[in-house]
Amino acid sequence: MIQTLTSLFSGAGPGCQHLLITWIVVMLSVVITCFIISELTFNYSQVDKIWSLMPAVYAFITLSSFQSPRLWLMAVLVVVWGARLSFNFARKGGYSIIPWKGEEDYRWKVLRDNPALKGRFRFGLFNLFFISFYQNLLIMLFSSPLLVAAFNTGKNLNIGDFLSAGFMLLFIITETVSDNQLYRFQQVKKGKIAGKDIYSLSLERGFICEGMWKYVRHPNFASEQLIWISFYFFSLASTGRILNFSASGAFLLVLLFIGSSEFTEKISSSKYPAYNEYRKSVPRFLPRIF
């Protein structure tokens, strides 16, 4: 299996098998840890806690074996992305001094109450195969342009790298702005800060529909997808080819966000009468140009 995976990367030199095995061992170790902790604590946001951390772990594991300006640039961008996302997760109560505690994503509770998943055994299987394993596999896959760049260190930095970095930074900024708008709205809604004049329509409807959210229903989700599509472009710059194995990560991430946004919107539609009209008038991810 390892040889098959390694053969998918052109230019793989000495040490690439060891690096790939290390990635897989780390990923499986995290899967087991997340599964055990979530089953013992009934807090199923353990993968959520490490979502913003694991790509940086993979980046520095890679740098410990392979060195290149491209890999350093990619690692710095991953750290910037991860630090921002970790901050956003922390301010919403996602982290705790006791590592396995912290706020659980409300959607896991909704899924636990779903008749198809209700019960310790059935939800335990869902936790093992989707929450713990699939999500960690996905993190590894959308981080895998690092592997492609590591196995093709002979090609110098080029315009493709700078375009990839520029787009990734742009979408980190748009994600930051949209997350800040959402967080501020939630704080205003809870009466913790002033701002009723800024979010008057959103407060009236019960959900955010102003700022970037006026143009797309999920600007933060859209930005996250575009960040990792931009990251994939580093693998193109390092190989000179349009398609390689690491495209699977960005592709599967897009599918995850399509499903996640659909599920989130069903919950919102059941809570807020005006949400269905909002869905009809505002695009999901990409703004209308005309």
User: At residue 6, does pLDDT exceed 60?
Assistant: no
- Measuring CA to CA, which residue among 195, 167, 197 is closest to residue 180? 195
Q: What is the pLDDT of residue 2?
A: 46
pTM: 0.91
Q: How confident is the model at residue 12 (pLDDT cuts 50, 70, 90)?
A: low
Would you state the pLDDT for residue 211? 95
What would the pLDDT profile of 229-262 be if each residue is shown by its tens digit? 999 999 999 998 888 989 999 999 999 999 999 9
Rounded percentage of the chain residues whose pLDDT exceeds 90: 77
Work out the average pLDDT over 101-119.
Answer: 89
User: In the chain, what percentage of residues exceed pLDDT 70?
Assistant: 95
Question: In the predicted model, what is the mean pLDDT of the chain?
Answer: 92
| pLDDT higher than 80, residue 85 | yes
C-alpha distance from residue 66 to each of 18, 107, 148, 240 (Å): 11, 39, 11, 19
Among all chains, which residue has been given the structure tokens 């981080």?
143
What single-letter amino acid sits at 105? D
> Domain segments of the chain: what residues?
2-281
Instruction: Let me know if 245 is exposed, middle or buried by CB neighbors in 10 A (0-12, 13-18, 19+).
Output: middle
Read off the pLDDT band of 288 (50, 70, 90). confident
Predicted pLDDT of residue 290: 63
Which residue has better confidence, 265 or 5?
Answer: 265
The pLDDT tens digits for 176-230 are: 999 999 999 999 999 888 878 889 999 999 999 999 999 999 999 999 999 999 9
Decide if 238 contacts 2 (C-beta within 8 A).
no
Residue 110 has pLDDT above 80, yes or no: yes
> Would you state the pLDDT for residue 196?
84
27-43 tens-digit pLDDT:
999 999 999 999 999 99
